[in-house]
Structure 1
Amino acid sequence: MALITRRALIAWAAAVLAAAGLTGCAARSASPAHTLTYWASNQAPSPELDRKVLRPELDKFQRRTGLHVALEVVPWADLLNRILAAAVSGHGPDVVNIGNTWSASLQATEALVPFDRATLAAVGGSGHFLATSMASTGAPGKPPAAVPLYGQAYGLYYNKRLLAGAGLRPPATWEELVADGRRLTDARRGRYGLSVVGASYTEGSHFAFIFGRQHGADPFVHGKPRFDSPGMVAGVRQYTDLVARDRIVNPSSVEFATDTPFVADFTSGKAAMIMAQSNADSAIRANGMKPEDYGVEPIPLPDPLPRGGQRINSHVAGTNIAVLTGTGDRDGSLSLVRFLTSAPEQRILNKAFGTLPVTTDDYSDPAFNTPAARTFRYVLAHTSAPMPMVPDEAQFETLVGNAVAALLADAGSGGAVGQAQVKAKLSEAQSQMEGLG
C-alpha cells in the first residue's frame, strides 16, 4: 500500500478544491439535535427521482426513531469534492454516501468514523454484508471506513432491434464489438455503434483500470503509481480508439459529463450499445424503453487476451455509506446506516435504483433475478476486480480520469490521439501524482 500522510492528503484535497472553486465554500455544520443530515449520491436518472425514492423511507425511519433526516442528493460529479471540503473544514453532514473506490483515500483523511468491531456490530456485523462488497470499504488491515449500500458492475447494453436489423448478435469479443460498431454506425443519420460519458473523470478512470488490467497493468505496483506503463497506455488507447480510430462513438458524447444524455442516446436509437453500470436500467426504463427491447451481456474481452492480461471487464462497483467524525449524533447516524442496509430497505432501494443488494439476506425477488441482473451478478462475482484500496486511489481517479477525458475531447474534435498522445497524457498524470507525494 502507498504510504501517505493525512497532511499530504489534505494538501492534495485543498489543491483539488481550489481548482474546483470550492475551498472557500460554506460547510454545513453539525446537525442540531433530533435531525440528521444525509448526503445521498445521485443514483436515479435525476435528483428529483432520488428524493422521491428516499424521502418515504427516511420518513419511515423518523417514525421509528424520532430522528428527522435532512436529505440532500449530490450529483456524482460534485460528491468527492463536497466530501473533501467537509474533510478539510471539519464540518459536513452526519451520514454520506461515497463511491466505494474512494474508501481508502477518504479513510486517510480521518474524516470518516472507523467501523471497528463494535461499530460494525451496531449496523449488523461484518457477516451481514457480502464479502465482495466489503472488500471495497477501506485499506487492508484497517477497520473499514464505510459499509456497502448499493452493489453494481459494468455490462454491455445493446438495442435488440438495431442489432437484429443489421443481422448481428451481441458481440462475444472486443474485436467483434468494434466490427459491429462500424456496421451500426451511420454518421450522416446521426447513428453510432456506441455512446460514452466522455467528460466524466470517474468513467475515464474506471475504463483505464479495467482495460489496463486486460493488458496486464495495474495503476499501482508495490504502492507506487505506474500510470504510464505500457499496459496502462494500451488499455487507455483501447478506450480512446473507439472515438479516435474506430469512429464508432458519436463525437458529441465526449462532452457528456453525466449519464442522462448518454442513456438518451441509447433509448432514442442514436447509439446501439453502451457500456454502463447496472443502475442504468432504471434510467433506460424511465426513458420509455421496455426490458424486452434491450439486452445486457458482459463487456467482451479481447481475443486473444494480451500477454499477461486478466479476464477483467468491470471493477467491483458500488456505493458505500459512511458516518463523518464531526457528526453531532453518532448513535443516531449509525442507526440510519443500519436502517438503510437492513434487508427490507435493501429490497426497496436496490429495486428502485436498479442496483444489487449488498447483504447476505435472501433475495429471491424477481427484480434481482432478471436476465440483466443475473449478468451483473455474474460479472461482479467472477470477472471484476476492486479498484486499488490505497490512499492514493482518489488521486488516481482524478488525475488519470481527467487525462482520459482530455484525450477523448481531443479525439472528438478531430485531433490526433494515438500511442504518443496517450503516453504523454498518462506521463503528465504520473508526474502530477509524484508531485503530491
Structure 2
Amino acid sequence: MKARSALVAVAGLAVIGLALQGCSSNGTSASGAGNLDGKGKTINVMIAANSIYPTEQKQWFQDVSAQFQKETGAKVAFETFATANDELTKIQTSVLSGQGPDLYDLGTTFTPTAYSTGAFVKLTDADWAKVGGRDRFVPATLGISGPDEKNEVGIPFLSRPFVMAYNKDLLAAAGIDKPATTWDGLTDQAKKLTSGDVHGMAVAYADSFDPWKFVWAMSIQAGNPILDLNAKKAQIDDPATKKAYQTYFDWMTKDKVVDPAAIGWKNAQAIAAFANGKAAFLPMVSSSSQVTLDKSAVAGKYAYAVMPTVPPGETSNPDGGKPASSIISGDNMVVAKYSKNQDLTFALVKMLTSSENQVKYTKTFGDLPTNADAAKQIEQGNASLAPILASGSKAVGTPFSGAWGDTQLALVNVVVQSIPSLSKGSVSSSELESRLKAAQATAQASLDKAK
C-alpha cells in the first residue's frame, strides 16, 4: 500500500477502533506475573528492527521469551518493522482487522497516531498498577504518553534524546574549543574540519527516520511547529521549513562538509564513518551510539554535545521560536484492545520495564532507561551522559495529533524525492517548493480528517 493511502486511512480509524472495543477481552484476571498462568499462550510483539545491533537484538528476543516463559509459562514472539511507513501500515492493518500484535513498541512520535485510532488501551490507575505504577517512570518520559495525564496509552520503554557526537582531537587540531550552538556556526566549523577524506559531518541522508528530525528541529527553533493544532493548519510550506531543507541539502551540495557517499547512508553507516575517524561531527545521534564508539578507533577521543538550538540564518531564536535540542524521543509500548491476553501483555511490559531489565538493555544497546531507579544507576559515574540528559531536559514534543504520522512521512518524502538531485549536485529552489507544496497538501488533508 502506498504511504499516503495508508496514512489517510489511519486518519479515519478512530471510529473503527472504537467499534473494536466490543471485541476486546481482558484475558486473565490476575494483575501480577507471578499469579498468571500463560502456559500454551504466546504474546506477540511488534518492534522496530535494530539496524545498528541486529545480532544483539535477536539474542534479546530469545532472552525475553525465555525469561517470560519461566515467569508465566507464556512465550513471546517478536515481529519487526524497518521503516516508519511499515510501522504505520501495520497499525492500520491491525486496527482494520481487529487482530495482530498484542503489544506494539512504537517510536514516541507515533503514539498520537495510535491514540487517535481508539484501538489501544487507555490506561487506568489499575492498568498502571499492573506495570508497577506510573511513578515507576522518569517523569519526562511520560511527556508524550497521551494528550494529558488522564488520557494516556503509551507506557515508556526507552528514552533516546538526540545529541551530536564530536571528535575532540579533530576539533583541537583545528583550534576549535567546543561545538557551535547555532546551525550556521556548526556549518562554519564543519567547513574548517573538512579535509581530504575527513569530513565535517556524518549525515545519513537515506535513513528512514533521521531526516525529518533535522527539518523539524530547525523549523520549531524558528517558530514553526509544522502543525498548528489550534488553527488546524499544516505549515510545511513555511519559509522557515524551506530554509531548514536548504541547509540540510547544502551540507552535501554547497558546503561540501559531508561525504558524497552519505547520499546512500543509513544511520548505522553515519555512525561507522564517525567511529572510523572520518567525520568531526555526528549530529542527530542518541546514547545508543556509545556502545559502538567505545569499541572503535575514536574510543576516548569523542564526546557528546547538545545540538544547535538556534535556527539557520539566526544568531538567537526569533519570537515564537523554541530552543529545542531534540524531540521527546524514545519508545512507548501500547497494548491492543483486541488482545485476548491483556493481563499477560501488561505483565510482559512490567518485566521489560523492571530496573534489572532496563539496566541490562542500556548496557547492551545504549538507549536510556525510563525506569527511574534504573536511570539513576546508569547516570551514576557516567559523565559522558550529561549532554544527553541536558538534551532530554530541553526536548520538545512533536504535535500530539493523529495527523502527525502522515506529516512525519511527508517530511521524509521530501528528502527521498530529492535524492536524485542531490546525487547530481543540487536541489533547485523550484524543485524544493514543489515538493513542499505536495507535502503540505498531504499533511493538511490528514489534519482535516484527524479526530
**TM interval, short-chain normalised:** 0.7 to 0.9
CA distance in 2: counterparts of 1:47 and 1:127, whole angstroms:
32
1:391 has 2:399 as partner: no
Instruction: Name the structure 1 match of 2:71.
Output: 64
Instruction: Name the structure 2 match of 1:263.
Output: 271
Task: Judge conservation of contact 1:214–1:312 (CA < 8 Å) in 2.
Answer: yes
Query: How far off is 1:233 after superposition?
Result: 2.2
Superposition TM-score, scaled by structure 1 size: 0.85
Instruction: Name the structure 2 match of 1:169.
Output: 177
Taking a change above 3 Å as real, the CA distance of residues 337 and 366 of structure 1, as seen in their structure-2 partners, is closer
Deviation per CA, 1:253-288: give whole Å up to 9, x if none: 1222x32211111112222211112222223345x3
Task: Judge conservation of contact 1:32–1:328 (CA < 8 Å) in 2.
Answer: no
Instruction: Name the structure 1 match of 2:307.
Output: 299
Query: How far off is 1:310 after superposition?
Result: 1.9
Taking a change above 3 Å as real, the CA distance of residues 217 and 10 of structure 1, as seen in their structure-2 partners, is closer
1:95 has 2:103 as partner: yes
Task: Judge conservation of contact 2:51–2:268 (CA < 8 Å) in 1.
Answer: no
Taking a change above 3 Å as real, the CA distance of residues 344 and 141 of structure 1, as seen in their structure-2 partners, is closer
Instruction: Name the structure 2 match of 1:143.
Output: 151
Question: 1:41-80 alignment to 2 at 5 Å?
Answer: 41-43=48-50, 45-76=52-83, 78-80=86-88
> Which of 402-411 and 307-316 deviates more?
402-411
Question: 1:6-25 alignment to 2 at 5 Å?
Answer: 9-10=9-10
Instruction: Name the structure 1 match of 2:17.
Output: none
Gaps of 5+ in 1: 1-5, 14-29
Query: How far off is 1:99 after superposition?
Result: 0.4
* Partner SS for 1:234: helix
Task: Judge conservation of contact 2:145–2:152 (CA < 8 Å) in 1.
Answer: yes
Superposition TM-score, scaled by structure 2 size: 0.83
CA distance in 2: counterparts of 1:266 and 1:81, whole angstroms:
33
Deviation per CA, 1:373-419: give whole Å up to 9, x if none: 111111101x210111111110111111211333355234212344x
Match of 1:251 among 231, 237, 260: 260
Give the partner amino acid of 1:216: G
CA distance in 2: counterparts of 1:251 and 1:154, whole angstroms:
24
Task: Judge conservation of contact 2:275–2:292 (CA < 8 Å) in 1.
Answer: no
Task: Judge conservation of contact 2:116–2:401 (CA < 8 Å) in 1.
Answer: no
Question: 1:352-371 alignment to 2 at 5 Å?
Answer: 352-361=364-373, 363-365=375-377, 369-371=381-383
Task: Judge conservation of contact 1:255–1:409 (CA < 8 Å) in 2.
Answer: no
Instruction: Name the structure 2 match of 1:237.
Output: 246
* Partner SS for 2:308: coil
1:349 has 2:361 as partner: yes
Task: Judge conservation of contact 2:180–2:189 (CA < 8 Å) in 1.
Answer: no
Query: How far off is 1:150 after superposition?
Result: 0.4
RMSD: 2.7
In the comparison of the two structures, how many residue pairs are matched? 410
CA distance in 2: counterparts of 1:300 and 1:398, whole angstroms:
24
Task: Judge conservation of contact 2:207–2:267 (CA < 8 Å) in 1.
Answer: no
Give the partner amino acid of 2:117: T
Task: Judge conservation of contact 2:418–2:427 (CA < 8 Å) in 1.
Answer: no
Query: How far off is 1:306 after superposition?
Result: 4.2
Deviation per CA, 1:325-358: give whole Å up to 9, x if none: 2323111111001111122212111232211121
CA distance in 2: counterparts of 1:150 and 1:198, whole angstroms:
24
Give the partner amino acid of 2:432: V
Query: How far off is 1:7 after superposition?
Result: 11
CA distance in 1: counterparts of 2:444 and 2:188, whole angstroms:
39
Query: How far off is 1:11 after superposition?
Result: 6.6
Gaps of 5+ in 2: 1-5, 14-26, 28-37
Give the partner amino acid of 1:390: S
* Partner SS for 2:330: strand
Query: Taking every aligned residue pair, what percent have the same amino acid on both sides?
Result: 23
Match of 2:416 among 384, 400, 405: 405
Deviation per CA, 1:137-183: give whole Å up to 9, x if none: 22337621221100011111112232233333332233331122112
